[in-house]
């Protein structure tokens, strides 16, 4: 059996630095604040942090428009502050991976400032330039993908905002400069990278135009007003057709192999995690990315046992088919998607119960789990009603486009952008019931509004000593995972394949067989499980009862119960 790597058994926790903890009292999260919360994270039981961008940036895209890859945004601190954070995390046994944005820079990056200055500049071809727009490609954020620069009298390409010009990765000098960035952080001791938007690095070299009869704003409007299955399918098809020539261009797999070679030269099993769900980016299993996210698990209005079983059957079969067997990576939330408490709440009547069941799902499936900061206390989306308070420029662009181009009523447009904006799931972490939820001092305006439900117990302080709180539920569940070998490395086998309201499966090693049952309904159940040579199950974790064991031939399951039990003779 191959040696298990740290990143296979680790629990990752995403920190969105701007919203996590404000240590200097200016209303913006920073490294001082993160350092002060490292003991909290250690007590929670995480093994690794995924840190969203911390680099200098004009913040047109919340830090994903980078103006210096080898420094720290001044509002977050200094490089010395970063080193203190990294050392503090490592001292607590917590690894750190960084967000690495390969596809584009900020338009304020010195490379782009040089490139746009003239056609004769040494960096003139570090970005993608044409005399006229060569096609009708769109930016996925804000309209046309080609923007004119008067200094060159040419157009540059940007898959994202016009403030995020795409690098020309076919230029060897660009590649060398970016690999120097990678080595800079690896030399400092970071444990790997989450790779942002990798599919956009190379485009169709033939520059083939799309055939969608709508603008980007029109496609977004179609998607948000779709009422029938056919309308939803049409909007999704238009999106794929609009951008398919801007994704997955030739050369990407060779590029990932180069990057993997760099990481493999460093000690400590440094890791690459791709912001993509395509298992092809794992190459032969040991020569490209270590992990890609199981985003298809998230892409549903409701998490159901039928959906989970289908997802696992497809994902695990593809991972198993790689020449070097692949490892899964499961999550239900991040900075770009609605919080799991909100997203999968069905009609809202059992939102808290379903959030707990879904947390257990991520933490018990085969593969590496990722959590998003705040989900451990049950944070929810916060719809910002006033467009003037939004900071997500994708949403503010669409607000103007909806009113000016699509003639949508401003009041309706405000509601629509509040729902589509990623600000709703990026609001400040709720630490206490003090003003501003303890994120920043009273009297200081936080960079985004704090959700008002922090005074209703949705905060760390109120939940800290409550044994029945969401926070302590996560702590217990994480401890159970950490001390159960089969949950860390075991094989997966689904049970009761026709069950519609509960999801049951085994995780097995040579020494241990663990039964996991997740009840997705309000109904109590009496279940029977046939596990050869086993008659009972020793309870490792139950969300409802303290019984030490249960029989396999007549197991009672309470409403929305999560049960983890080791089968015994």
CB atoms closer than 10 angstroms to residue 568: 14
- For β-strands 138-139 and 143-144, DSSP reports them as antiparallel
Helix (H, G, I), strand (E, B) or coil at 256: helix
- The span from the CA of 323 to the CA of 184, in Å, is 32
CA-to-CA distance for 355 and 156, rounded, in angstroms?
44
Active site residues: 196, 275
Phi, then psi, of 204 in degrees rounded to 5: -60, 115
- Stretch (H or E) spanning 556: strand 555-557
163/143 Cα distance (integer angstroms): 12
Strand 491-495 and strand 502-508: pairing?
A: antiparallel
- Exposed / middle / buried, residue 239 (Cβ in 10 Å: 0-12, 13-18, 19+): middle
19 contact partners, CB below 8 Å, separation of at least 6: 29, 373, 426, 427, 428, 429, 439, 447, 448
Element housing 123 (H / E): none
Are the beta carbons of 156 and 113 closer than 8 angstroms?
no
Q: How far apart are the first and last CA of the chain?
A: 26
Q: Residue ranges of the alpha helices (H) in 79-209?
A: 79-91, 110-117, 172-188
Angle at 187 between CA 182 and CA 191, to 5 degrees: 75
The per-residue b/e assignment along 168-188, b for 16 or more CB within 10 angstroms, e otherwise, is bbebeebbeebeebbeebbee
Task: Name the phi and psi angles at 70, rounded to 5.
Answer: -120, 35
């Amino acid at each position: 059996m191959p040696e298990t790597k740290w990143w296979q058994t680790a629990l990752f926790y995403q920190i969105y630095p701007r919203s996590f903890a404000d240590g200097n009292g200016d209303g913006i999260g920073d490294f001082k604040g993160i350092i002060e919360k490292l003991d909290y994270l250690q007590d929670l039981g995480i093994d690794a942090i995924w840190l969203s961008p911390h680099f200098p940036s004009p913040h047109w895209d919340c830090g994903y428009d980078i103006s210096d890859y080898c420094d720290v945004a001044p509002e977050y601190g200094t490089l010395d502050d970063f080193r203190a954070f990294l050392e503090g995390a490592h001292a607590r046994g917590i690894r750190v991976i960084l967000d690495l944005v390969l596809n584009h820079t900020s338009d304020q990056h010195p490379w782009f400032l040089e490139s746009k200055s003239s056609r004769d500049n040494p960096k003139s071809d570090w970005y993608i330039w044409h005399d006229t727009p060569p096609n009708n490609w769109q930016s996925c954020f804000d309209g046309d993908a080609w923007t004119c620069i008067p200094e060159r009298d040419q157009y540059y390409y940007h898959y994202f905002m016009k403030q995020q010009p795409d690098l020309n990765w076919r230029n060897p000098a660009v590649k060398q400069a970016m690999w120097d960035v990678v080595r800079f952080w690896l030399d400092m001791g970071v444990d790997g990278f989450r790779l942002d938007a990798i599919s956009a690095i190379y485009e169709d070299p033939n520059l083939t135009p799309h055939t969608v009869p709508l603008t980007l704003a029109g496609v977004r409007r179609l998607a948000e007003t779709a009422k029938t299955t056919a309308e939803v399918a049409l909007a999704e098809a238009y999106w794929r057709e609009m951008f398919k020539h801007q994704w997955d261009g030739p050369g990407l797999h060779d590029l990932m192999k180069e990057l993997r070679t760099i990481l493999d030269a460093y000690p400590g099993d440094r890791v690459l995690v791709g912001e993509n769900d395509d298992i092809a980016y794992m190459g032969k299993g040991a020569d490209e990315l270590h992990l890609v996210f199981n985003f298809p698990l998230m892409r549903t209005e409701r998490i159901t046992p039928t959906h989970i079983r289908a997802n696992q059957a497809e994902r695990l079969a593809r991972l198993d088919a790689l020449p070097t067997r692949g490892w899964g990576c499961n999550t239900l939330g991040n900075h770009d998607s609605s919080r799991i408490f909100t997203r999968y709440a069905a009609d809202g009547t059992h939102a808290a119960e379903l959030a707990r069941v879904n947390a257990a799902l991520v933490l018990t499936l085969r593969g590496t789990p990722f959590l998003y900061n705040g989900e451990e206390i049950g944070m929810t989306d916060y719809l910002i009603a006033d467009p003037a308070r939004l900071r997500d420029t994708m949403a503010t662009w669409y607000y103007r486009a909806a009113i000016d181009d699509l003639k949508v009523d401003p009041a309706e447009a405000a509601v629509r952008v509040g729902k589509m904006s990623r600000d709703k799931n990026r609001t400040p972490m709720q630490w206490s019931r003090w003003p501003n939820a303890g994120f920043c001092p009273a009297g200081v305006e936080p960079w985004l509004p704090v959700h008002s439900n922090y005074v209703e117990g949705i905060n760390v302080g109120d939940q800290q000593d409550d044994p029945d709180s969401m926070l302590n539920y996560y702590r217990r569940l994480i401890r159970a995972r950490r001390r159960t070998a089969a949950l860390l490395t075991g094989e997966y086998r689904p049970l009761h394949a026709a069950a519609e309201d509960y999801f049951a499966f085994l995780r097995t090693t040579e020494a241990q067989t663990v039964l996991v049952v997740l009840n997705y309904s309000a109904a109590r159940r009496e279940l029977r499980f046939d596990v050869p040579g086993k008659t009972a199950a020793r309870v490792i974790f139950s969300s409802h009862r303290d019984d030490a064991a249960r029989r396999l031939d007549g197991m009672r399951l309470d409403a929305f119960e999560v049960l983890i039990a080791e089968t015994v003779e």
